[in-house]
Amino acid sequence: MGFVKEFKEFAIKGNVIDLAVAVVIGAAFGKIVSSLVDDIITPAILTPALKAAHLTNLSELVIPGTAIKYGNFLSQIISFLIVAVALFLIIKGINATKKKEEAAPAAPPAPTKEEILLTEIRDLLARK
């Protein structure tokens, strides 16, 4: 009975729920990034190269006499590099934003009631 109770407490903790939400959002974001790379960026980059090689699709790049499709492998490498650069730029932007927030000096704390009263007493004594 103790094991079930411990597991229930573990599963309901905020960290586990946050992690589950992050995984779901990450999977959805992964689909968006994959679509961007596969449908927009990779074709834009590869179309001139394919035309120069007189090909219409990377899957046509095969080692003659084998089933090895090195064109698909090259496409995946290019996709990985594009995703890596895009993520690097995103993280770099986020880090720059965080540095700007940290660089802003914190406002000094407001004086307490005691400090205000002591300041008034000092000023009154200075006038006499």
Q: What pTM value is reported for the model?
A: 0.47
Range of the domain at 19: 2-105
Q: Indicate whether 113 belongs to any domain.
A: no
Predicted local distance difference test score (pLDDT) of residue 39: 80
Q: Indicate whether 15 belongs to any domain.
A: yes
Q: Indicate whether 88 belongs to any domain.
A: yes
CATH number, domain containing residue 94: 1.10.1200
Q: Indicate whether 123 belongs to any domain.
A: no
> Chunked in runs of 10, what are the mean pLDDT values of the chain (128 residues)?
80 74 83 78 75 73 76 78 81 84 74 89 88
Half-sphere exposure of residue 105: CA atoms within 13 angstroms, side-chain side: 3
Name the domain count of the chain: 1
Predicted local distance difference test score (pLDDT) of residue 1: 64
Predicted local distance difference test score (pLDDT) of residue 17: 75
d(CA 27, CA 51): 34
